[in-house]
Structure 1
Amino acid sequence: MKTEHEDICFDTEDIFRVSSGRGEAERQGRANTHRALALITHRFNVTSTEYTRFHKKIKIVIELSGNTATERVEQPVTSSDENPTLQSTTDEIIGICPRFRILVIGKTGVGKSSLINQAFGVDKALTSHEKPGEANIETEYISQQNDRFVLHDSKGFEPGDEDNVKIVQDFIEHRISEPALKDQLHAVWLCFEIPRAGGRLLETGTETFLTLKRDGKLGNIPVVVVFTKYDMLIDRVDRTLDSSSLKRLSEDAIKKLVKKKADAELKDICIRPLQKFAGRHITYTAISTKETHKETRAHLIRMTENLVRQHFAPEASVMTSIAQRVDPGLKISASIEVGKRRYWKALASSTAFKNRRTRECLNVLHTDIVAVWNFRDPHRYLYSSEFRTLMVNMVDKLDDEPTADPSRTIVVGLSIVGTIAGIVSALSGPAAPIVVPIAAGVVFAAWAHDVYQTSHAVLRRFMCYIIDLTLVLQTLYLVSESQELSRRAIKLAIASFLASPISGEVHTRIQEYDRGLTLLERADRNTLDKIIELMQLYSINAEEISELRAQIPAVGSSRDEPWEEANV
């Protein structure tokens, strides 16, 4: 038997970039590959860290693990070791994977454009504007309203059209072989309109494509089958119900009955034919672009992000969450992923911020959190000194207030969202300027100019800043509806958060946690866990936001106002 060998080259710098062990190992890797790999293997956190690369049709996984006792917080590297620059973690992620790259396949009229626009929060369709049924799969569509994703568009598989299957297959194979994560294809959405009972779902070309996927000939590229216009199926089922049998049912019970019957029909006309060619493990979901079914788009995004996380380096899944604009929960999850990489895990010991001014430390935390939410912010209001001052002084003001009774906290969940929605509605009148009880024009609080040090007061304030900023941005997500940000909308989000019980509760919980700390210099792990706990406790999911937006007046169309009107 003849055995053939092929050398496969690895870029060690690329390996270091997609891992949490950069620092000294990265520098030495340039000089000596083998020595660097030995060093980085020793230095890695014991949590599973992998580097994945595809060579032709072979998936190669390099697992790097090590002793957590040797773990230390990474320090950014510059030309001057004496005064290294604090580097944003999101900037590093964007450098590795600046955009989520997706291929959307579907015939004209299935709703691709509406789906893309709503999933990524853009106004104008990005799919092909050529003649109906035509699209160049190699064209990269990038929106100025959201440049964190790049779209490749492909027409559907028409009857008797085998050429497009070959075009799509070649495109996917080419993208699989790309060495850089930014050039690889991260996901495919294969879109079908839900047919009427008796209608045909799959054409021959589609069957061929799904068979290729089932047999592993398309690699591990995540493919999600998307059944569109789910609302039309719901309407059809609703019209066929016998009205006489519904007289004793509540409106909610009728909705559940309609959904149950619609899902049963979906299984018969869509899911069974799909699984015949794609196998039982194919990922699928039904969606509608109607506002009343926004949770279906959020479900699609969550499924996609989960698949990307399983098959690609972490930067790709983080960018999936950054690019999408339908699920705030994924934004918070991405913030946690970014925070855990470097700065949040050393707040108590101050290792990452040693000899730094507090304001400089807050700036890098601020940048990381804001970048994840990816608002339409062409004027960069969220990065302005005015907004940063508002956030610092919010922490300063609430930190000086009396501690609330932790036993009298509001119930998390819909009550939180309902509370904020009521406040937003009361504050968002079209005439009067929105007043924030913290002056934006004043200088930063005095403590922001101090050198960061290990102390209970510093830890408490930094925890407050991280969580307050996240929850303000969550409120801003509720009121902005993917529209271009205005100062008025930002002030409304701040005022609503401050007026809600949540702001006081967050600080109460942090104060209670701080009082329980004994060995502050060893509290990093517990501090990180507490930040994550509080962010998740007060998070709002897409379903709740969809229900409540109908109760809130539109803010995006309101006249903007300057920061100075926030002074009192």
Structure 2
Amino acid sequence: MERRKNMPDLKDQLHAVWLCIQIPRAGGRLLETGTEDFLKSKLEGTLGNVPVIVVLTKYDILVDRVERTLNEASLDGLSEKAIQELVKEGAETEVQNTCIGPLEEFTGSDIPHATISTAKGYKETLTGLIQKTETCVNLHLEPDAAVMTSVAQRVHPGLKIKALIKIGKQRYWNALMSCPTFKNNQMKDCLRVLHNDIVDVWNFRDPHKYLRSQQFRDLMMTMVDNIQAESTTTSMTFGSSMSGPIVSMLGALSGPAAPIVVPIAAVAVFVAQWVYEVYQISDVVLQRLMAYIMHLTLVLQTLFFVSKSRVLTRRAIKLAVKSYLASPIKEEVLTRIQDYVQGLAILAHADKDILDKIEEMMQFYEMDAAQVSELEAKIPDVDLLPDEPW
């Protein structure tokens, strides 16, 4: 840890420590001697600003134990939901008495902590741990370390959106209409820059680099080819509007493994001429750049739920694309962009406002831990192998 803490490159440095301790039974000892020594070194400043988060593991075992010890007579007439709340309250009380109290007594301070389980149905606890870690890193280290934390993790899609916004602000999103990086380049090259940055933030397990393939790029460019959208006044959240199409698509895959058909073939034959035009300031160009950023972000957010942290296949990517195209979000995003661009007074001087609008739209579709858990519970686990061609 000392070696990593002093490395010159931020990406190689120590950003946080998870101190994992299994939740003990009532009366059991929480801190072993080695754990106490480590906490003392933190309190004495040996780790400097590097945050330590105490991770209390196997929370599911505690919940089961609390449920078994409930007085059955006291449960008469209670709904299943009320019983679950009663169990949760009992488990939280147990954690406070056997873990948090002794921990605070030893350290004399409030050490960040999280209760987790890797058992099925407890994914929200992992999301909470990742959220707490990102918050601690952001509070105690330089902002770029928190961004790296969000990029590295594969649990919380909401933090991916936050990292994407931060990276966009640091780079060229704040100058989409006056960007020297894009000047004198064809639109396909400008989109390639945007594409790579967004894909990198999501950090999928993509050893074959399918997300950087020309086939996937062409598919995304086709998605912004038609920039005319039907006007709509309906507002929705990502979870409510995406769960239906994803669940429907995955349900269809539970039978024979029929190929997933997306408009890849048409793209391979014809790519719109505008892709080869040289970047220039216009409302159409702005709409396409904004649409590409939003569509790609939301397709990858859909892929997050479809892939479930597994190695990516072309079949999984095509399923995510098809689910997104089947949802009402694509047209809603385009309508929001069109309404915004048409309302701009002076296009060439609107860079700051454009960045704010992209941030606003991304935050609108960002999901918190509870929404992530709710959507994941609805999505069945489907084997996306064997793979299939584009």
Question: In which range does the TM-score fall when normalised by the shorter chain?
Answer: over 0.9
Q: Which residue of 2 aligns with 1:376?
A: 205
- Aligned-pair CA distance for 1:268: 0.6
Of 373, 376, 387, the residue aligned with 1:546 is 373
CA distance, structure 1, for counterparts of residue 188 and residue 384 of structure 2? 34
User: What's 1:268 paired with?
Assistant: 97
Match in the other structure for 2:331: 504
Root mean square deviation, CA, Å: 1.9
Deviations 1:310-359 (A, max 9, x none): 33333322221121111111111111111111221111334442222111
> Shift of the alpha carbon at 1:462?
0.4
Match of residue 292, structure 2, among 465, 474, 481: 465
Task: Give the match's secondary structure for 1:291.
Answer: coil
Contact 2:250 2:382 in 1 (8 A): no
CA–CA distance in 2 between the matches of 1:557 and 1:419?
19
Code of the aligned partner of 1:189: W
Larger RCO of the pair (alpha carbons < 8 Å, separation 6+): 2
Q: Secondary structure, in 3 states, of the residue corresponding to 2:106?
A: helix
Counterpart amino acid of 1:203? E
Once residues 368 and 213 of structure 2 are traced to their aligned partners in structure 1, the CA distance between those partners, rounded to angstroms, is 28
Correspondence 1:361-400 to 2 at 5 A: 361-397=190-226, 399-400=227-228
Matched, 1:435 2:261: yes
Contact 2:184 2:278 in 1 (8 A): yes
Name the amino acid aligned to 1:458.
Answer: V
**Cα distance, 1:266 vs. partner?**
0.4
Equivalents in 2 of 1:227, 1:485: separation in Å?
31
Note if 1:228 corresponds to 2:57. Answer: yes
Q: Is 1:421–1:551's contact at 8 Å kept on the other side of the alignment?
A: no
Matching of residues 31-110 of structure 1 within 5 Å: none
Looking at structure 2, the residues matched to 547 and 270 of structure 1 have their Cα atoms a distance apart, in angstroms, of: 28
Alpha-carbon deviations, 1:431-477, whole Å to 9, x = none? 22111145341343211111111110000110000000000001111
- Whose strand fraction is larger, Structure 1's or Structure 2's? 1
Shift of 1:216: 2.3
Q: Is 1:204 aligned with 2:25? A: no
The counterpart of 2:140, out of the listed 311, 317, 341, is: 311
Q: In 2, are the aligned partners of 1:335 and 1:369 still within 8 Å (CA)?
A: yes
8 Å CA contact retained: 2:315, 2:384: no
Q: Is the 8 A contact 1:480 1:489 kept in 2?
A: yes
The 5-angstrom pairing of residues 263-302 of structure 1 reads 263-302=92-131
Residues in 1 aligned to 2:120 and 2:366: alpha-carbon distance in whole angstroms: 21
Letter in 2 for 1:533: E
Contact 1:294–1:542, Cα closer than 8 Å, also in 2: no
Aligned partners of 1:470 and 1:254: how far apart in 2?
A: 39
Asked if 1 retains the 8 angstrom alpha-carbon contact of 2:219 and 2:263, the reply is no
Q: Of 318, 321, 325, which residue of structure 2 is paired with 1:494?
A: 321
Contact 1:425 1:551 in 2 (8 A): no
Query: Which residues in structure 2 correspond to 1:316-465 (within 5 Å)?
Result: 316-397=145-226, 399-400=227-228, 402-405=229-232, 407-409=233-235, 411-412=236-237, 414-429=239-254, 430-437=256-263, 439-465=266-292
SS at match of 2:268: coil
Which range moves more in the overlay, 240-249 or 490-499? 240-249
Q: Read off the aligned partner of 1:382 and give its amino acid letter.
A: L
CA distance in 1, matches of 2:12, 2:334: 43
CA change 1:459–1:543 in 2 (3 A) is same
> In the alignment, which residue of structure 1 is the partner of 2:344?
517
- Residues 182-211 of structure 1: CA deviation (Å, up to 9, x unaligned): 442211111110000011111233223222
The one-letter amino acid paired with 1:509 is R
> Which residue of 2 is the match for residue 148 of structure 1?
none
Unaligned runs of 5+ in 1: 1-170, 564-568
Residue by residue, what CA displacement relative to the aligned partner does 1:391-436 show, whole Å, maximum 9, x if unpaired?
0011113x13x4222x233x32542243343343355354221111
SS in structure 2 at match of 1:441: helix
- Tell me which amino acid in the other structure corresponds to 1:408: T
Contact 2:157–2:301 under 8 Å retained in 1: yes
How many Å separate the matches in 2 of 1:283 and 1:332? 24
SS of 2:184's equivalent in the other structure is coil
- Are the equivalent residues in 1 in contact too, given 2:238–2:329 (CA < 8 A)? no
> How far is 1:228 from its partner?
0.3
User: Contact (CA 8 Å) 2:243, 2:379: kept in 1 or not?
Assistant: no
Aligned AA (1:290): A
CA 1:491/1:431 → structure 2, altered by over 3 Å: closer, same or farther?
same
Contact 2:131 2:159 in 1 (8 A): yes
- The answer (yes or no) to whether the contact 2:177–2:286 under 8 Å persists in 1 is yes
Specify the SS of the correspondent of 2:49: coil
Gaps of 5+ in 2: none
Q: Is contact 1:427–1:496 with CA below 8 Å preserved after alignment?
A: no
Cα 1:264–1:338 change in 2 (3 A) is same
Give the match's secondary structure for 1:390. Answer: helix
Deviation at 1:513, TM superposition (A): 0.7
Question: 1:31-77 deviations in whole A, cap 9, x for unaligned?
Answer: xxxxxxxxxxxxxxxxxxxxxxxxxxxxxxxxxxxxxxxxxxxxxxx
Would you tell me which structure has more helix in proportion to its own residues? 2
Q: Is the 8 A contact 2:50 2:141 kept in 1?
A: no
**1:481 maps to what in 2?**
308
**1:537 matched to 2:364:** yes
| Change in CA separation of 1:384 and 1:519 when aligned onto 2, cut-off 3 Å | same
The Cα of 1:504 is off from its aligned counterpart by 0.7
Matching residue's letter, 2:140:
H
Q: TM-score normalised to the size of structure 1?
A: 0.65
For 1:501 and 1:231, locate their aligned partners in 2 and report how far apart those are by CA, in whole Å: 37
1:122-161 aligned within 5 A: none
Task: Give the letter aligned to residue 510 of structure 1.
Answer: I
Tell me the TM-score normalised to structure 2 length: 0.94
The match for 1:188 among 17, 42, 48 is 17
Contact 2:114 2:129 (8 Å CA) reproduced: yes
Partner of 2:73: 244
